[in-house]
Amino acid sequence: MSEFDYDLFVIGGGSGGVRAARVAAGDTGAKVALAEMDRYGGTCVIRGCVPKKLMVFASEYANVTEDAAAYGWSHSAGSFDWASFRGKLNSELDRLEQVYRDLLKGSGVASYDARARVTGPHEVTLSTGETLSAKHILLASGGHPVRPELPNANLGIVSDDIFHLDALPKSLLIIGGGYIACEFACIMHGLGVEVTQYYRGAQILRGFDDEARGLIADAMRERGIDLRTGTNIVEMAPASEDHTASWTGTASDAAMGADVKQRPALQRETGDTAGPIWVKSTNGNERVFDTVLFATGRDPNTADMGLEDVGVKLGRRGEIEVDEYSQTAVPSIYAIGDVTDRVNLTPVAIREGMAFVETVFKGNPTPVDHALIPSAIFTQPEMGTIGLSEEEARDREPVEIYCTSFRPMQSAFAGRPDRVLMKLVVSVETRKVLGCHIVAPSAGEMIQLAGIAVKMGATKEDFDRTVAVHPTMSEEIVTMKTPMRTA
């Protein structure tokens, strides 16, 4: 009989933790338990990827009637019913959470609806008062959005809150320039909200290919999002009647607005949220918004878990430090997913969980492969990317850049100005495709398939030998014969 209550105790019921728990139990017969203090499914299923993508789908219907008319259909614009959508959204999330619970139960994993703290190298204590022992402990507690250190920051909401709004605000200020900020700017604008976005940097989507993120910024402004780079928030407070009555805009507001093409406002249900908020920006402008959304980063969920007391090392932002096998400084304790702040993507957390099971329970030491991970940003248009940006690649070695930007057939016929981008970054020496970047509708779907070729080490000539599928946007990936430039 084992000296421990469990072979494995997992803290966190998100995608990575659930996968590791059920595979360890189902494939190896290990005795496994999992504790989750909130809802099963974690950030991705409950307050991230899944509800966000459903909101993306909802927002993309805004232009359907207008486009259909260009193709000869006669329809009148309807209205967006937030309450109806939110009800269906919550029902879907409830269904998915039950799927996660059933997967654990079906694999024989014991579930504890409680908060867990690590109280020893082989011990966890639950908020219910129970203390349990385990040969191995896996930390998969995820992360959470953070607010800036700013007086009255509590007046704003974070990404977790946006799915629970009683009604859509009439006006929304988004602070941040990362993918979460940009995705929600496009979503909320598509649902009929007047969106302003402040980002302190020179261009949104820092870390991605410059040409690709520049096209997305242009597209966001063209669609009517008031995107202001080099701008941050310095003060915020509940708006008084004086604030509301006195604000009429500034010269810089008017100048920005002149460059923004406004489409007809989408009819929708609106309502007050927490009340109007007065905001002052770094350039001195003062505005009043119904809602302020902070999309200024996420921190790992490691506070008050007892980790440092037992010897687990944490980084500057509270991230758990691990080696290539996801092992912490305490040999019996491992960590995967966003709590390690390596690559914060759901499929990566799942891969890390699988590698953990291979290493610890199947006797097959498997380091985590974080190279060449395809990813998508669900802005409008989407961005799909894998590998090195042009800027990263040219700092490493001589490269050729194959690139084309054009108006795709479907939107050009409808009279929309939308442009797409297809880009390959190619090593001069090896001819390998070092990076592929796509900005286009359904770019996420395209990059999944292009990612296979890049991961396999395909060369530019391999792409050239592939016959194009015509007429498609993606055919341009295999028809670009002459480099636009070398770097």
Q: Is the peptide bond before 381 cis (omega within 30 degrees of 0)?
A: yes
Residue with tokens 């479907």: 410
Strand order in the sheet with 157-158: 157-158, 291-294, 171-175, 194-199, 226-229
Q: By the 8 A CB rule, do 424 and 464 touch?
A: no
Say if CB 358 and CB 351 are below 8 A apart: no
SS3 474: coil
| Catalytic, out of 75, 136, 243, 470 | 470
Give the residue carrying structure tokens 């390596």: 342
Q: CA-to-CA distance for 119 and 117, rounded, in angstroms?
A: 6
Q: Which candidate, 286, 284, 282, places its Cα nearest to that of 230?
A: 282
Please give the biggest Cα pair distance in the chain. 77
Supply φ then ψ for residue 328, to 5 degrees: -85, -175
CA distances from 242 to 239, 251, 274, 278, 319 (A): 8, 20, 18, 10, 44
DSSP H/E element including 157: strand 157-158
Q: Can 470 be counted among the known catalytic residues?
A: yes
| Helix or strand holding residue 15 (H, E) | helix 15-28
Spatial CA neighbour of 20 closest among 341, 368, 319: 368
C-alpha span between 21 and 151 (Å, rounded) = 42
Is the torsion defined by CA of 49, 87, 61, 470 positive or negative?
A: positive
Residues catalogued as catalytic: 470
